Amino acid sequence: MTSAAWVVADGWTLTRRALLHWVRQPAQVIVGLLFPVLIVVMFVYILGGGMQVPGEGGYEEFLLPGMFALTMVFGIEGTFTAVASDAAKGVTDRFRTLPMTPGAVLLGRSAADLLNSALGLLVMMGCGLAVGWRWHEGFGRVVVAVALLLWLRFAFLWLGIYLGVRFPSPEAVVVMQILVWPVGFLSNAFASPSGMPGWVAFLAEANPMSATVTVIRDLFGNPGAVDGSWTASYGVWPAVLWPAVITAVFLPLAVRRYQRLGG
C-alpha cells in the first residue's frame, strides 16, 4: 500500500481500539451522553422560567444551540483524559515501538472522539426535540449547523490531544475538568452578553464557542442569533475561522509533542 493508505489503515486500527473500549466499558460513554441531557432538563424546567431571551421564542429554543456547542467543547475532557491516561501508563510508548505509521495514534484518537461527539450531538438534538426545541429553517441549514458544531469539536479535540501528551498526569486531569467550565459558561450559551457587565460581555463575545452558537442559532431559526454583539455582525466567518486558528496552532503542536515522548 502507499504511505497514505498505511496511515488510514493504522489510524482505523486505533479508532477501532477506542470504539471497542467503549463497547466493553460503556459506563463512561453513557455518563458522557446523559450529563448534557441533565443540564438541559435543569436549565429548561428549573431555571428557564426566569430567563429572558432576545427575540421571539422560548428559552428552550435559545438554550439548545448553546448546549450543542457546549457539548462539543466539553468533549475536550474525554479526549484529554484518554490521551493522558495512555501516556501515563506507557501505552503510548508501547505504540511507538510497534511497526505503525507515526501519526496513527493521534489520527485514531481524533476519529474515535469525533464519532463519539457526533453520537452525543444526535442524542442532544433528540433531547432538545423532547423539551420543545425546534428548527425553523430547511434541512440543508441544519446540516450546515451540524457541520459547524463538529468543526468546533475537531478544533478543541486537538487542543485536548496536545494537553494530554503535554501533561500526562492524574492531577492535570482534575485541573482540566475545573478549567473547562469557565470556557463553556463565559459565553452566550445560557444568556445574552447584552445583559452582562462590559468586560464580561467582551470576554463572552470573544469566546470561540459564542461565534458558533450565534451562527447555528441563525441557521436553526432560533432566538438570539442577532443579539447586538460584534461577533454577530460578521456572519458565519468567526464560526469558521476560530476553529481553523485553534486547529492550525494545536494540531502541529500535538504532533510535535507526541514525537518527543520518551525522548
The per-residue pLDDT for range 101-120, each reduced to its tens digit, is 877 888 899 999 999 999 99
Cell of 186: 463565559
Tally of domains within the chain = 1
Mean pLDDT value of segment 18-40? 85
The answer for residues whose C-beta is within 8 angstroms of residue 260's C-beta and 6 or more apart is none
Q: What is the sign of the dihedral through the CA atoms of 40, 46, 52 and 56? A: positive
The predicted-structure confidence for 154-167, as pLDDT tens digits, reads as follows 999 999 999 988 88
The number of residues making up the chain comes to: 263
Q: What's the whole-number mean pLDDT along residues 1-30? A: 83
- The separation between CA 76 and the C-alpha centre of its own chain, rounded to angstroms, equals 6
- Closest by CA position to 167, among listed 29, 28, 102, 261: 261
Answer whether 184's CB lies under 8 Å from 73's CB.
yes
- The backbone region for 99, taken as left when phi is positive above 0, alpha when psi lies in -120 to 50, beta otherwise, is beta
Contact between 167 and 256 under an 8 Å Cβ cutoff? The reply is no
Q: Look-up: residue for cell 433531547?
A: 127
**Residue 61, domain extent:** 3-260
Grid cell digits, residue 70: 457546549
